[in-house]
Structure 1
Amino acid sequence: MPRVLIVAQAVPPNGGSHATRIKYFIKELAELGWEIEVLTTKIYPGTPLIDNSLLDSIPINVSFVRTFPGPLHFYAYRKKRSLPGAVKAKKKPGFKKKLLIPDTYIEWLPSALFDVFIKKKIKKKPDIILSSAVPYTSHLIALIISKKWKTPLVADYGDPWVYDPGNLRKGIRYSIERLLESMVIANSNIISVTTDSTKDLYIDKYNVEPTKLKVIPMGYDPNDFPISKHYKSNESIRFLYTGRLEPESRDANLFFLALKRLYERGHLKYCLFEFIGMFNKDLLDMVESMGLNDIIKFHPWMDHKACMEYLCKVDYLMLFGNNNSIQVPGKTFNYIGSNTPIVYFTNLSGERDPVDEILNESGTIYWKVENNQSSIEEVLLELESRSSFENSNKANQLFTWENRVKELSEIMTSLL
C-alpha cells in the first residue's frame, strides 16, 4: 500500500474552499488504497470558520499530526469566539500580513519541522509528499521534508502564488517570494494547478517544463446533494449566491445598481436574492442605502453540508466571475453538481472565459450575462417573467471529486 504525507494547513475541520479540496483528496485517495498521514496545525477554541461537517466520510485510519501553529496564531485563537455572522468589518492588512513572508503561517514552519524531525511524530517515512496551498508555507515545509528524506514532492496549488492577480506582490516582498516559489518549483517532481490558464502562467513566468505541470481542477461530490427534486416556491423566485464578494477579485456593483433600477420601476417584487457567507459591512450598508432590504437577504456563514443542501432549494444560482482568466471560482463545480440553473455574470470582456467553457462542457442550464447594467436587467426581467421552469440538468460526472482524485492518484503512482 503506497503511503503519502499531506502537508497542508487548510485541513478539516477548518472550513472553506481549500479545506474542502483537501477533504476530498484525503477521502478519495484513501478509497483508492493510499495510506495517509496529514501534517497540519492544531485547532483552538477560537479557530475561525470551523466546519465539522467536512470531517464526515474521512476514514478513521487517516492519521492527523496537528502541530503548534506559532505564538501569534495561538494568541489569536486561544479563546472561544462568537459564531460567525454575515457581516465582517472591512480591515486593512495587519502587521502580520505585511511583515510575515510568504504568509502568516511562516511561524508554523519551526514547530512543524521540530515535530517531524526531532519528536518524530510521523509514523513512517512516506513514499510521496503532497503539499497543498494556500497558505504557501505548506510548500516550504514540505520542500524541507522532501529534501531531507529524499522523497518525491507534489506541490498542489489552489490559486497562483506570486502572480495571484488578486494579490500582486511588489518590491522586496515580490523578490523574496519569487525566490521561495522558484525553489519549490525547481524541487517539485509535479506541480498541480486548478486551471489551464494557471498552467500557462507558470510556463511563462518560471519556464516550467509543461509535462511537470498537471491540471487538477476543483470538483463536486454527488453525495453532497441528496435532494432529488428541487423546491419551487409559490411565493417568490429565489436567487442564491454563496461565498465572498471581494472587489479585488469580483465586483458586483453593477448587479446591485441593476436591482435598484428595476425595483424602483416596480419589478422584482416577487423575487428574493439571497447571499450566504461573510460580507464587508460596506456592502451591507450599500444595499440598505439603495432600499433593497425587501428583496435581498444575507445569511450567516454555513458549514459545507448545510450550504450544499441550500443550493438545491432555490430557483437560480448566481455566479459572479473573477476579473481575470487565471482563476475559476471553486463554487462553480458545486453549483454544477447541485443541478440548479446558473446565472453567470462574467467580469471578462473580449478574452477567453474559462468559466463559460466549464459551464458549457458541464451540460448545465445557464445564462451568461455580460458585465453591463442593461444586460443584467434584461436577464433578470426574463427570469422574473417565467411562471415555471422544468429542470432537466444532469451534472457532468467528469467533474466529480472521485474522477479528479483518481487522476491525482495516477500522477503520484507514476513517481513511485
Structure 2
Amino acid sequence: MNILAISLAYPPLAYPRSIQVARLLKHTEAKVVLFCADEPGARLDETIEPDAEARLHECIRVPVITGPTAGLIDRLSHKFYKPFWNRRNLAPDAYGHWRKDVLMSIDRYLQPNGFRPDVIVTFAQPFTDHLIGLELKKRLGRPWFAHFSDPWADNPFSPFDEKTKSMNLEMERSVAENADVLAFTSSETIDLFYQKYTDELKKKAVVLPQCFDPTQFSGDPPNGGITVRYLGNFYGRRTPQPLVDALKQIALNDNEFLDEVSFELIGSGDAEEVRRLSSGLPKGLVVVRPNVSYAESLDLMSRSDGLLVIDAPAENSVVLPSKLIDYIGANRPIFGITPTGTAAKLIGELGGTVADPAELDQLASRLKDFIDELRKRRIAQQTKWGSNRVRNRFTAESVASDFMSMLNKVTK
C-alpha cells in the first residue's frame, strides 16, 4: 500500500504529536511518503523515535517560512487588536503559508517520482494538516483518512472569538464531510465532535488511540524515598494547585505521613509560581524540574513509584493526554487528578486511582491511600502494575495493526 502522509509535527520537532505520528508510521507495513515541517526556532529533541525516518519510503521536510515582520505583527496585534491576531493564529492556526508550500512540494514530488498514493493520511494538530488533506482529496480523488489528536472547533482550550469560532466550524465541517474516515483517540471525543452533525456523518468515525513502544522502557526500579512524578506542561486552567492543596490538607492532619515522599513536577511551566503555591509544605515534598529529553522522560517514568496525571477542572473531559499512554508503558501505578471523562475512565480500567480536581476532600483522601499503596508495593518489591488486557490495547504493534486494517478497508 502507498500512503501519502501529512504531519507538520515529526521528529526531531519536540511536539507530543511528533512522537505519536512517528511511532505509528514506523510500525506500519506500507510504503509511506511523509511531508512534514522543518520549523526554524522550534524546540528539537533528537531522542524522539530516532530510527523512525529510516522506516519511511521518503521524508520531505518543507520549511516553515515566516516573514521578517511576522513576529512584530503578532506582538502588536495581540496587544492592540486581538481579533486580527486571532484570525492570523486561530483560523485554524499559524501555518497557512506552510499549507501552500506543502501542496506545491507534493505537486513537484508526485509526477517525477511516479508515486501513486492509495490513500491520503493527515494528522492534526495543527488542523492545517487536514486542510492540506482536503485539497489533496479534491486533486487526487484518493481515499482520505484524517486523524485527530484533539477536538477542533469544540476544543475547550482554544480561545476562539465569535469570528474564529465560526471560521473553524466551517473548516471542520468541510473536513467532516469530505474525509472518508475520521479517526479520534477516544469515543468521548467522537461524541463531542459529532454532536452537531448527522448520524450518517458519524458512521465515518473510528477510534485510533495513541500508542507506546514497550521496548523503550528499561529504567531501574525506584529506590530511596517514595517518588511520584508528573511529566508534562502546565498552562491555562491546568495547574498544580489541586495537588498542592491536597498535600497541604494531608500535612495538616498528619504532619509525619509525607516524610520521605517527593512529588516531582517535570516540564515547562512557571517554576516560581509552583514554588509559591507550595510554600509552607515540607522541604523536598514538591520538586520542580525543567524539561528533559523524551528518552530521559521514559527512564524517569520507569524509575518512579507512581505517576501523576493532572487535568483542568471540567464537567466532562474528552482529553486523552499522550503522556498517559507512555505512563501505561512504564508499568507504574497511576493517580489521576482529572474530572469525569476519557482519562479518568482509562485510568480506572487500568486499576489506577482518580480524584476530581474540584473535590479537595476526595482528592486528599485518595492521594493519601495512593501513597500508602506505593509504600506497600515498595516493601513487597512489586515491579509490575495494572491490567495487561488494557495495556495491550495501546502497544504500538496493536494500534498499528488496527490502523492498517482501517486503511485496507477504506481502500477496497
Shared fold, TM over 0.5: yes
| Distance across 2 between alignment mates of 1:258 and 1:198 | 29
1:56 Cα deviation (Å)? 2.8
Structure 2 segments unaligned to the other structure (5+ residues): 72-77
Quote the Cα distance in structure 1 between the aligned partners of 2:83 and 2:326: 32
Name which of 337, 352, 370 aligns with 1:366: 352
Match of 2:49 in 1: 54
Which letter does structure 2 place at the counterpart of 1:240?
A: R
Aligned partners of 1:114, 1:154: CA distance in 2, in Å?
Answer: 21
More deviation, 262-271/204-213: 262-271
1:207-222 maps to which residues of 2 (within 5 A)? 207=198, 209-222=201-214
Aligned ranges 1:188-199 → 2 under 5 Å = 188-199=179-190
Q: Which structure 2 residues correspond to residues 161-180 of structure 1 after superposition, within 5 A?
A: 161-167=152-158, 169-180=160-171
| Alpha-carbon distance between aligned partners in 2 of 1:116 and 1:297, rounded to the nearest angstrom | 47
**Which of 284, 287, 297 pairs up with 1:307?**
297
Residue 154 (structure 1) shift: 0.8
More contact order relative to length (CA 8 Å, sep ≥ 6):
1
1:104 aligns with 2:90: no
Aligned partners of 2:241 and 2:277 also within 8 Å: no
For the 8 Å contact 1:37–1:122, the answer to whether it is kept is: no
Aligned to 2:121: 130
Counterpart for residue 84 of structure 1? none
* Cα distance, 1:132–1:74 mapped onto 2, change above 3 Å: farther
Which one of the candidate residues 317, 329, 333 is aligned to 1:325? Answer: 317
Q: Distance in 1 between matches of 2:235 and 2:279?
A: 19
Following superposition, the deviation at residue 97 of structure 1 comes to 5.2
* CA shift digits 1:39-91 (9 cap, x unpaired): 111143x3224344322344344311111212259987xxxxxxxxxxxxxx9
Describe the superposition over 1:322-366 as per-residue Cα deviations: whole angstroms up to 9, x where unpaired: 533322222222111111011122323xxxx3323322333xx42
**Contact 2:244–2:278 under 8 Å retained in 1:** no
CA contact (8 A) 2:24 2:211 kept: no
Distance change >3 Å, CA 290–CA 98, structure 1 → 2: farther
**Aligned pair partner of 1:39 in 7, 14, 35:** 35
- Range that drifts further, 205-214 or 382-391: 382-391
Instruction: Check whether the contact 1:96–1:104 (CA below 8 A) recurs between aligned residues.
Output: no
1:401 equivalent in structure 2: 396
Aligned residues: 387
Higher helix share: 2
- The answer to whether the 8 A contact 2:53-2:59 is kept is no
Residue 23 of structure 2 aligns with which residue? 24
Distance in 2 separating the partners of 1:48 and 1:121: 34
Displacement of 1:177: 1.4
Alpha carbons of 1:42 and 1:122: their partners in 2 closer, same or farther (altered >3 Å)? farther
Q: Residues 374 and 24 from structure 1, CA distance in 2 versus in 1: closer, same or farther, beyond 3 angstroms?
A: same
* Local SS of the residue matching 1:238: strand
What whole-Å deviation, never above 9, does each CA across 1:154-211 have from its counterpart, x for those lacking one? 1110001111122153311111111111111111111001110111123221225232
Q: 1:273 aligns with which of 233, 257, 263?
A: 263
SS at match of 2:27: helix
Kept after mapping to 2: 8 A contact 1:263/1:269: no
Which residue does the alignment assign to 2:132?
A: 141
- Change in Cα spacing, 1:96 to 1:12, as seen in structure 2 (3 Å) is farther
Deviates more, 1:316-325 or 1:157-166: 316-325
Contact 1:287 1:293 in 2 (8 A): no
Query: Which residue in 1 is equivalent to 2:145?
Result: 154
3-state DSSP of counterpart to 1:179: helix
1:243 and 2:232 matched: yes
What residue is the counterpart of 1:80 in the other structure?
A: none
> For the residues of structure 2 that align with 1:149 and 1:385, how far apart are their CA atoms?
59
* Structure 1 SS opposite 2:95: helix
Unaligned runs of at least 5 residues, structure 1 = 77-90
Counterpart residue identity of residue 34, structure 2:
V
Please list, as runs of the form range in 1=range in 2, the aligned pairs for 1:318-357 lying within 5 A after superposition. Answer: 318-322=308-312, 323=314, 324-348=316-340, 353-357=341-345
User: 1:285 offset after TM fit, Å?
Assistant: 4.7
SS at 2:234 equivalent: coil
Q: 1:218 and 1:283, CA in 2 relative to 1: closer, same or farther beyond 3 A?
A: farther
TM-score, normalization by structure 1: 0.84
| Partner Cα distance (2:123, 2:68) in 1 | 20
- In structure 1, how many angstroms separate the alpha carbons of the residues matched to 2:51 and 2:286? 32
Aligned counterpart, 1:86: none
CA distance, structure 2, for counterparts of residue 121 and residue 43 of structure 1: 26
Question: Pick from 358, 361, 377: which aligns with 2:364?
Answer: 377
Aligned partner of 1:220: which letter?
Answer: F
2:245 to 241, 257, 261: 257
**Larger deviation: 161-170 or 5-14?**
161-170
SS at structure 2 position matched to 1:161: coil
**Amino acid corresponding to residue 25 of structure 1 in structure 2:** L
Retained in 2: the 8 A contact 1:115–1:121? no
Identity of aligned residues (%): 21
Question: What's the counterpart of residue 205 of structure 1?
Answer: 196
Q: Work out the CA distance in 2 between the residues paired with 1:243 and 1:153.
A: 32
Q: 1:73 to 1:261 in 2, by over 3 A?
A: farther
